[in-house]
Amino acid sequence: MAAEREVAEAAERALAAPRPAPETVMRHVTSEDVDPASDHFDSPSRPSGPPKTMVDLLNACLQDEMARDPRIVVFGEDVADCSREEHIDEVKGKGASSRSRTTSRGARLAARLQLALAEAAIIGARSGSRCGGSSRSCEIQFFDYIWPAMMQLRNELATLRWRSNGAFKCPVVVRVAIGAT
């Protein structure tokens, strides 16, 4: 009963709120704080050391980010097939999906969450937990599997800032393997 009363009161407040001015319709479509075309994102390439594969580079990036931000959790399919960190290097990959596991290899074990094959749920859960201040990374096992998640990506995640009038932002990295693995 308390939940019903809370919902009814929220609905009354929403109906009594003034309508937004039409000229504000484009507000919060993109970030007011970050301009992705700015010089801030323009950094010259400085290759050093031996050449590395994309998987190795993604792994290094993930390691760096997880060391920098303890809130980051790797969330998705085929990312955690080991329950004891001391045995993680002994776990062998299986099939083509072993590239995904290699990408997250070495990530803090407690910060990896293996999920069922439910792509829409992965993106939806990641969006919600990110709004609550959790991690920024989730993984869809193969690009062919992205389609069940497209409604969550396009209609929910991509429009969250706009739909909440700037109250929520949801920067999320969705890692998806595509091409030869």
Tens of pLDDT along 61-106?
Answer: 878 887 888 777 776 666 655 556 666 566 554 333 444 455 666 5
Residue 71 located in a structural domain: yes
Distances from the Cα of 36 to the Cαs of 30, 54, 163, 168, 171, in angstroms?
Answer: 10, 23, 21, 19, 13
Residue 81 located in a structural domain: yes
Which comes out higher in pLDDT, residue 179 or 110? 179
Q: Which CATH number do you get for residue 97?
A: 3.40.50.970
114: three-class secondary structure by DSSP? strand
Q: Find the domain containing 107 and state its range.
A: 26-39+51-176
Residue 129 located in a structural domain: yes
pTM comes to 0.58
State the pLDDT at residue 53: 84
Tokens of 147: 């389609």
Beta bridge partners of 174: 138
The average confidence (pLDDT) of the chain is 76
Is residue 37 within 8 Å of residue 30, measured between CB atoms? no
Number of domains in the chain: 1
Most confident of the following: 93-102, 122-131, 136-145, 146-155: 146-155
